[in-house]
Structure 1
Amino acid sequence: MTQQELQARYEAVMMNAFGAPKRVFERGEGIHLWDADGRRYLDLLSGLAVTGLGHAHPGVTAAITAQLGSLGHVSNFFASQPQVRLAERLAALTGHPDARVFFTNSGTEANEAAFKLTRLTGRTKVIAMEGAFHGRTMGALALTANPKYREPFEPLPGEVVFVPFGDEAALRAAADERTAAILIETVQGENGVVPVPDGFLAASRRIADEVGALLWIDEVQTGLGRCGEYLAHQADGVSADLITLAKGLGNGFPVGACIATGRAASLLQPGQHGTTFGGNPVAAAAGNAVLDALEGGVLENARATGAWLAWAIEALGHPRIEGVRGRGMLLGVVLTRDVAAQVADAALKAGYVINAPRPGVLRLAPPLIATPEDLAGFVEALPGLLDAHG
């Protein structure tokens, strides 16, 4: 069936939450995708920073297949060996022997769990950042700064205060003895790939400690190698009380996690939160397979290739490129004009999958296994894509 026929069928039965799909993809392998008409694309988006190991990764595929063939689901009245093993490994990443894990199916659910957990401190105020994105469910949306996302669904839960991202003075002024948590992303992906300013995470840790609040770091997009580290905030020398993960944890299989350390680790008690599918054996098997693969030099490659990609794009010296920002394999190409959506569409026609989180920013999040040789063709094509919309 052709691309056009499948798109028409999609629009006839799907709610219009995403608009018309730009392509219908049928197959993926490594860093490439193929659409319903058989055309190949270089995937520089990884399903929004999800398929860090590339498509149809043999280790992940084998783990999911084997686990589903032996035990697929038992509910959280019971446990499974893959679930326990994955929780142990994620807890160990924090460096805290008292870390505890709650599994979810997605990033927004991980943030919902963390939001509920902050209420168990006896406080209700959460300080989040302007430009933040934490999900679309009602609680996560309350923590998200974009008015376009928020306003149709107000009133939203909670006492959430937004301060400018990176403004230590504003954060200090907002924090008080009523503050349950300070919530930060290491890189604001949906805001145009904006990294946390130097020193701000450390300042946030100090301020949280001063007022007795939790420091909550959303690593849903930035964690598990995307920024070249297992947990991106650890490169800043900071320890978090709450960490939320998803996206790259399952390489395409739905799995997320809320990790709590220190006093936050013992707050959640039986009956206060739950999930039917979170941490099921198949999801846990996928997560374990991802962690196995990340041990094989993937993080080092993400750092090296990400640095090369940022350098190569800036080295073009193109007048429509203001600069490149981000960390590891999460990069934003900042343009001098608000033509990012048009450039992303042109790139798709040329066989490159990217997106435009902001009118003047292109987001690049290639698979962590990509090499400079894999990405060189896109760099060479970028000037022509920009010139067509300059």
Structure 2
Amino acid sequence: MNQPEHTGNPEHTDKAGGQAELIGRYGDVMMNTFGAPKRVFVRGEGVHVWDADGRRYLDLLSGIAVNALGQAHPAVLSAITSQLSTLGHVSNFFATPAQIALAEKLAAIVTVNSPELAAKVFFTNSGSEANEAAFKATRLTGRTKIIAMEGSFHGRTMGALAITSSEKYRKPFEPLPGEVTFVPYGDVEALRAAVDETVAAVVLEPVQGENGVIPAPGGYLAAAREITTQQGALLWIDEVQTGMGRCGSWLAHTPSGITADLVTMAKGLGNGFPIGACIATGPAADLFTPGSHGTTFGGNPVAAAAGLAVFDVIESEGLLEHVTQLGERLAEQVMALGHPAIKQVRGQGLLRGIVLSDARAAATHDALLEAGFITNAPRPDVLRIAPALVTTAEQLDSFVAALPTALEAAAPRGAQG
């Protein structure tokens, strides 16, 4: 297996220290919420990043689906620096042109299936904050019950955690807000049985990224829309990981033909600059009134400029079609390896889960990292791939070529292949 290319850059490494020293210092001053970092990265360019020892890596995780356009994209860099040199922050007692223009873009993509509906935006700094805003909005319906999905992940703040199903995340912080019931993801009849006239909202992800990249079954989103409409409940779709072209369309739920009442976004929206958004449509757009919610930094002009630049690049470079084609090609090539440890590739666009025949995903991730490829293992038997939308076929080919060797290196003792 090829080792990461060494391209030392003293300008970025000598002053900070080497990898081992920096990891040691990290342990001295950082809270132990993430464990010891596997690498310390010092710079990035396009789809590559370099660690403190000068080793180069192909980033196939994009900061967990954040760096949609890769590192240091010139359009985003120009937009941020230009805006910051003009106007950096004014508080939400005032508005800026960038904020308004980005809200118009988001309103348009959320209502593409129902252009007659109004849509309004509340800007945040992250996906968890966007979900907190949506959670608060559901309370203004006069109902308090929420139906969420088994296998869901919506963030680590208290409200977002309340609708996240994982016991290991929830248990230490209970009691959590709200009256939340979890139902099996993709089970229409279970959802129908759970939703009645007392339910405020149903919240779901069109693809469950942290659960191992599991797309909603065909027809499920349309059924969820029908059920919530019948019972007067809101349909809340979490597009934090799947939005902004990650799955081949602006929003992963759009191809289903539905329009949600609440949509939450973040990650790829700012290409690394912190920004999130809660977008409400139709009657839900009027739930928030002055004083019912707020934020200091949300929607600041620099973040908004970054979001506008991401929109512009995706549109001008035809990246939605590129993502669709490249994602299908990647899935086909991985399956064509015929490796006995690979069961299937699931997901949409450039959010893919390589499902393995045993629990070697974490070890495979480690082997790939040593070889110069950044991935992650959201589940013991799933390797997640979420490369930048500007990644080329040739770059993904190098990953596919390295994958069998990594799988062999990670094989459990006694396993074949």
1:319 is matched with: 340
2:178 paired residue among 137, 158, 163: 158
1:67 paired residue among 83, 86, 91: 83
2:98 paired residue among 71, 82, 95: 82
Residues 182 and 216 in structure 1, CA contact (< 8 A), matched pair in contact too:
yes
Q: How far 1:327 sits from its partner (Å)?
A: 0.2
2:379 is matched with: 358
Which letter maps to 2:385?
L
1:6 paired residue among 22, 37, 40: 22
1:297 is matched with: 318
Q: How far does the alpha carbon of each residue in 1:209-228 deviate from its partner, in whole angstroms, 9 at most, with x for none?
A: 11000111000000001000
CA distance in 2, matches of 1:214, 1:332: 30
1:270 paired residue among 262, 266, 290: 290
Residues 52 and 367 in structure 1, CA contact (< 8 A), matched pair in contact too:
yes
TM-score w.r.t. the length of structure 2 is 0.93
Q: How far 1:237 sits from its partner (Å)?
A: 1.2
1:371 is matched with: 392
CA distance in 2, matches of 1:238, 1:313: 32
CA distance in 1, matches of 2:78, 2:25: 32
Residues 123 and 179 in structure 1, CA contact (< 8 A), matched pair in contact too:
yes
Q: How far 1:387 sits from its partner (Å)?
A: 1.0
Q: How far 1:73 sits from its partner (Å)?
A: 0.5
Which letter maps to 1:280?
N
Aligned pairs for 1:109-148 within 5 A:
109-148=129-168
1:201 is matched with: 221
1:232 paired residue among 246, 252, 257: 252
**Residues matched between the structures, number:** 390
1:242 is matched with: 262
Aligned residue for 1:126, secondary structure, equals: strand
CA distance in 1, matches of 2:342, 2:257: 32
Aligned residue for 2:326, secondary structure, equals: helix
Q: How far 1:94 sits from its partner (Å)?
A: 1.9
Q: How far does the alpha carbon of each residue in 1:121-180 deviate from its partner, in whole angstroms, 9 at most, with x for none?
A: 000011000000000000000000000000000000000110000001110110011111
2:12 is matched with: none
Q: How far 1:371 sits from its partner (Å)?
A: 1.6
Residues 186 and 233 in structure 1, CA contact (< 8 A), matched pair in contact too:
yes
CA distance in 2, matches of 1:234, 1:266: 22
Aligned pairs for 1:155-194 within 5 A:
155-194=175-214
% of aligned pairs identical?
66
Q: How far 1:49 sits from its partner (Å)?
A: 0.1
Aligned residue for 1:232, secondary structure, equals: coil
Residues 301 and 371 in structure 1, CA contact (< 8 A), matched pair in contact too:
no
Which letter maps to 1:177?
E
Per mean C-alpha deviation after superposition, the further-off stretch among 89-98 and 333-342 is 89-98
Which letter maps to 1:385?
A
Residues 222 and 232 in structure 1, CA contact (< 8 A), matched pair in contact too:
yes
Pairing 1:31–2:47 present: yes
Which letter maps to 2:397?
A
CA distance in 2, matches of 1:347, 1:215: 39
1:108 paired residue among 95, 104, 128: 128
Pairing 1:336–2:344 present: no
CA distance in 1, matches of 2:110, 2:382: 32
Aligned residue for 1:101, secondary structure, equals: strand
Aligned residue for 2:368, secondary structure, equals: helix
Q: How far 1:239 sits from its partner (Å)?
A: 1.0
Aligned pairs for 1:39-50 within 5 A:
39-50=55-66
Aligned residue for 2:253, secondary structure, equals: helix
User: Which ranges in structure 1 are unaligned for 5 or more consecutive residues?
Assistant: none
Aligned residue for 1:69, secondary structure, equals: helix
CA distance in 1, matches of 2:108, 2:385: 30
